[in-house]
Chain A
Amino acid sequence: GAVVSQHPSWVICKSGTSVKIECRSLDFQATTMFWYRQFPKQSLMLMATSNEGSKATYEQGVEKDKFLINHASLTLSTLTVTSAHPEDSSFYICSARGQGSIGYTFGSGTRLTVV
């Protein structure tokens, strides 16, 4: 079935630095990928929709200049958390759906801790 690979699985960074998270569709092409954020004991919150070759669409309240999304190819989308702060510490998850697949496939998630 469709597989979405997400890296890194966890990262610790210092406040003020930037962190890049990669999401790859391994066996299918994904013109659209989604990025979510999940705080402890809460549901997934959609941050943005990543479109290959065009600008991402951000949900209300999500700062596009802070969460930079690049979807340069049909198999790769990246989320860069710029100037990270402790409040950005969260679990970030990407998802995509392959042609003909039932449902969406999610990455394994990235645990970001900003210290």
Chain B
Amino acid sequence: LAKTTQPISMDSYEGQEVNITCSHNNIATNDYITWYQQFPSQGPRFIIQGYKTKVTNEVASLFIPADRKSSTLSLPRVSLSDTAVYYCLVGALSGGYQKVTFGTGTKLQVIP
């Protein structure tokens, strides 16, 4: 399983764009990159997933360079409700279910 490294914490003011980068140097060819959000005392919630280049949905964008050794989650115009811990996970989707292990995550604090 590819190990991930993220900043422990980040602060941002409301309305700003936030970029959280995750390193996954030993990512395998069939691994996808998935980001989750977790609020206190809740289970993680899926945000976005990608394999390469750029993926965008209604809440975030995911940028993955050609070598796929890192990825960046971009949250546009954050609000106070985006204060949470964000986890980057790497793993394969094919070949049955693969266990998912979590790294340290990044605690994002949005400041008014």
Contacts and interface: CB of A to CB of B under 8 A. Distances in A.
Interface residues of B, number: 19
A103 B34 contact: yes
Contact of A103 (B49, B101, B102): B49
B44 A46 contact: no
B46 A102 contact: yes
B101 A109 contact: no
A44 B4 CA distance: 14
B97 A97 contact: yes
Interface string A94-108: 010100001111111
Nearest to B105: A43
Interface in B49-71: 49
B43 A106 contact: yes
B41 A91 contact: yes
A43 B41 contact: no
A95 to B, nearest CB: 7
A31 B97 CA distance: 9
A109 B43 CA distance: 5
| A contact patch SS | strand
A64 interface: no
B42 A109 contact: yes
B76 to A, nearest CB: 20
B100 A95 contact: yes
A32 B104 contact: no
Contacts of A46: 99-102
Interface of A: 4, 6, 31-32, 34, 36, 43-46, 49, 91, 93, 95, 97, 102-109, 111
18 contacts: A4-B43, A31-B97, A32-B97, A34-B100, A43-B102, A43-B105, A44-B87, A46-B100, A49-B97, A91-B41, A95-B44, A95-B100, A102-B49, A103-B46, A103-B49, A104-B46, A106-B36, A106-B45
Interface of B: 34, 36, 41-46, 49, 87, 96-97, 99-105
